[in-house]
Amino acid sequence: MQIAILLYDRFTALDAVGPYETLGRLPGAAPVFVGARTGPYRNDAGSLTMVADAALSEVTAPDILVVPGGPGQSALMADGPLHDWIRAVDAGTTWTTSVCTGSLLLAAAGLLTGRRATSHWLALDQLPAFGATPTGERVVVDGKYVTAAGVSSGIDMGLTLAGRIAGDAVAQAIQLGMEYDPQPPYDAGSPQKAPAEVTAELRERSRFLLNGE
């Protein structure tokens, strides 16, 4: 079961690593990090580097596609070879997935038209322009398209999908293996739960972030 995880410059590391550490632990999983070129990719902050072992042309029939998000997504919204590749592999996938603003890439490639989907809470309002209906859920399953909310939600998405693919016991073993018994010291993980001033400040800051830093 090949799992293709897309890398690109200025991706968000946890967006990629959450699904990797969950789906990648399924029996028979063969994860592969793939990019427009092989080699190192710098993350959003520029201080973390992950390596793509395969070029897009080398990964033609993954069973699962994972598209992470990150500020670099905004530079990839125009139609072109990446969108062509996303559409081509999607034709054969069992599951096509995204985390965070990765859903905007799926949407821009035309895959979420008429579907329910999610994204980072700061990017949800960009989905309708592509014919997708944003939802406030953390993990949205619409047919074979599974989109997750911001960054850390890829862990929940991966476990959800692991259960559908291999059954509850396997997914639970993956959760136990990674000791995913979350105990955040604050309850501020969504715009509804965070203090209003924290949400407001982040929304203000994101005006710059979402416009390419």
CB of 163 to a second copy, least distance (A): 6
Please say which residue, 83 or 174, places its beta carbon nearer to a second copy.
Answer: 174
Catalytic residue, chosen from 13, 16, 100, 146, is 100
Please say which residue, 93 or 160, places its beta carbon nearer to a second copy.
Answer: 160
Is 100 tagged catalytic? yes
Burial level of 33, CB count in 10 A (0-12/13-18/19+)?
buried
Q: Which of 10, 73, 18 is nearest to 43 (CA)?
A: 10
CB of 3 to a second copy, least distance (A): 9
Please say which residue, 62 or 83, places its beta carbon nearer to a second copy.
Answer: 62
What residues make contact with a second copy under the rule CB under 8 A? 12-14, 17-18, 20-21, 24-25, 30-33, 40, 45, 47-51, 53, 100, 120-121, 138-139, 149-153, 155-156, 159-160, 163, 168-169, 171-173, 175-186, 188-191, 193-195, 197-199, 201-202
CB of 78 to a second copy, least distance (A): 26
Q: Which of 15, 6, 14, 9 is nearest to 43 (CA)?
A: 9
Please say which residue, 110 or 135, places its beta carbon nearer to a second copy.
Answer: 135
CB of 151 to a second copy, least distance (A): 4
Catalytic residue annotation: 100
